[in-house]
Structure 1
Amino acid sequence: MEIKEIMKNVGDFFKEHVAPPHKITSVEAAEDEGWKVTIEVIEEKEYMKKYAKDEMVGTYEVLVNKEKEVTSFKRQDIRFRSAIDVEV
């Protein structure tokens, strides 16, 4: 299944270059025949354990091309892991 492959590629990319993924929350088709993925990662886990009471979760938007390769990513948000995220 194509979405599983996209999720695996994004997860592998983040594990290697950014931080281990916490969860992928969305995978959407993009206008340019690629994909837009939203992923959450635990930010600087060791640093946060040492200096804070709670871990920080970063939410990233990731663009994937039609060959299923990550072409760009940017952090959209950062929050405490225990924070309640309310969407309306």
Structure 2
Amino acid sequence: MVIKKVIRTVQDFFSEVLGKPGKVVGVSRGEDCWKVKIEVPEEVEYMRRHAKGDLMAIYDVSMDNNYEVTNFERIALMERGSLTIYPIEPDKEEEKA
């Protein structure tokens, strides 16, 4: 199945390249690429800096028809077990860094 290959590729990418295990929560096919949403645990250092509990990051990932990840972007954070999602605002993220 093609979707299984897409999921496996994105999970492998996050584990190998970013060192973050992830759970794919959405996959859709576009005209010329795959769109994937993956949820990964946020870095401990980030959590300590911002006095947060366990945080999960949600990433948008694009993959071309050759199953290569072409880009990814963290779009939101949420506390583990919560239904509240905190969107990432690019200007605010840069100010915090």
TM-score band (shorter)?
Answer: 0.7 to 0.9
- 1:85 CA drift (Å): 3.8
TM-score of the superposition, structure 2-length normalised?
0.74
- 1:82 CA drift (Å): 2.9
TM-score of the superposition, structure 1-length normalised?
0.81
1:1-88 correspondence runs (5 A): 1-18=1-18, 19-21=20-22, 23-32=23-32, 34-44=33-43, 46-47=44-45, 48=47, 52=51, 54-85=53-84
| 4+ residue runs over 4 A deviation | none
Higher-helix-fraction structure? 2
Q: How many residues align?
A: 83
Greater relative contact order (Cα 8 A, min sep 6): structure 1 or 2? 1
Give the unaligned 5+ runs of structure 2.
86-97
Higher-strand-fraction structure? 1
CA–CA distance in 2 between the matches of 1:83 and 1:56?
10
CA–CA distance in 1 between the matches of 2:52 and 2:61?
29
- Over 3 Å counting, the alpha-carbon distance change for 1:53 and 1:77 in structure 2 is closer
Give the unaligned 5+ runs of structure 1.
none
